[in-house]
């Protein structure tokens, strides 16, 4: 096991939206390192969640960094709005960008951190040319669109390979994994070399949020 401290990013997708304020506070008090916000447009993925207004609302509730995961088509149309809403990092899907280097530059001009996400079927080679411009690579360990899906072990090879690229090049780019992360699956991705664990169901699904965060951290 690598001894680097892994960050925990609770995904609000699984939170109880009738009391979003309490859920955010529980995550912050429970030791979350950042908050993960899943934006879905019903086109890039079949599901629809929320947009900049909710990001702006969450921004007013917490000092935690907001990690905005855009599962939307033509993300360049909305980058400015999400940055203005208080996102600290904006992650776009490589599959949704015709001009990935252009979108990366656009996010950078907003003075927020830049992430690129890869679906389970997308090889990591697509980001090789832009890797050194990224703060974050988000490796999907489920097909994006819904919480509560089973972890796909095929992400492990991608994480290991990315870890090698990043370390060899001496980059600070972080690797984030998203989908099906539980205390049972977390040790495998930690060992493969991730820096950030995203977890929705495992944190907000049942039980105590702080306890669940601790269980992931100590797994």
Within 8 A by CB and 6+ apart from 70, the residues are 39, 78, 82, 90, 91, 92, 93, 96
DSSP run (H or E) holding 79 = helix 79-84
Residue 10 interacts with, from ligand DX5, Zn ion, none (CB under 5-8 Å by kind): none
Q: Which residue lies nearest Zn ion, judged by its C-beta? A: 69
Please give the DSSP secondary-structure letter assigned to residue 151: P
Catalytic annotation, pick one of 41, 135, 178, 195: 178
Q: Tell me how far, at minimum, the Cβ of 117 lies from ligand DX5, in Å.
A: 8
178 is annotated as an active-site residue:
yes
Please give the DSSP secondary-structure letter assigned to residue 98: S
Q: 200 contacts which partner out of Zn ion, ligand DX5, none, CB within 5 to 8 A by kind?
A: ligand DX5
Distance CA 133, CA 205 (A): 35
Counting every residue written for the chain, the total comes to 219
123 binds, among Zn ion, ligand DX5, none (CB under 5 to 8 A by kind): none
Binding site residues, ligand DX5, CB under 6 A: 11, 13-14, 36, 38, 69, 142, 144-145, 147-149, 178-181, 198-202
**Is 99 a residue of the active site?**
no
Please give the DSSP secondary-structure letter assigned to residue 219: -
- Closer to Zn ion by Cβ: residue 38 or 41: 38
Query: Which of the residues 38, 67, 135, 195 is marked catalytic?
Result: 38
């Amino acid at each position: 096991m690598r001894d680097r401290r892994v960050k925990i990013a609770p995904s609000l997708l699984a939170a109880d939206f009738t009391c979003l304020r309490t859920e955010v506070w529980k995550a912050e008090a429970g030791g979350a390192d950042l908050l993960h916000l899943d934006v879905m447009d019903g086109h890039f993925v079949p599901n629809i969640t929320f947009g900049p207004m909710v990001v702006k609302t969450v921004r007013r509730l917490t000092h935690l960094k907001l990690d905005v995961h855009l599962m939307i088509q033509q993300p360049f149309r909305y980058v400015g709005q999400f940055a203005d809403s208080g996102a600290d990092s904006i992650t776009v899907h490589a599959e949704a960008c015709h001009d990935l280097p252009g979108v990366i530059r656009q996010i950078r001009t907003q003075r927020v951190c830049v992430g690129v996400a890869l679906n389970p079927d997308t090889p990591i080679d697509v980001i090789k040319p832009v890797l050194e411009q990224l703060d974050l690579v988000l490796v999907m360990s489920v097909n994006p669109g819904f919480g509560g899906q089973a972890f796909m072990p095929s992400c492990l090879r991608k994480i290991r390979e990315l870890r090698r690229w990043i370390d060899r090049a001496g980059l600070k780019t972080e690797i984030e994994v998203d989908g099906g992360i539980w205390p049972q699956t977390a040790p495998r991705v930690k060992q493969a070399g991730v820096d950030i664990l995203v977890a929705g169901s495992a944190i907000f699904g049942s039980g105590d949020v702080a306890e669940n965060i601790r269980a992931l951290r100590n797994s």
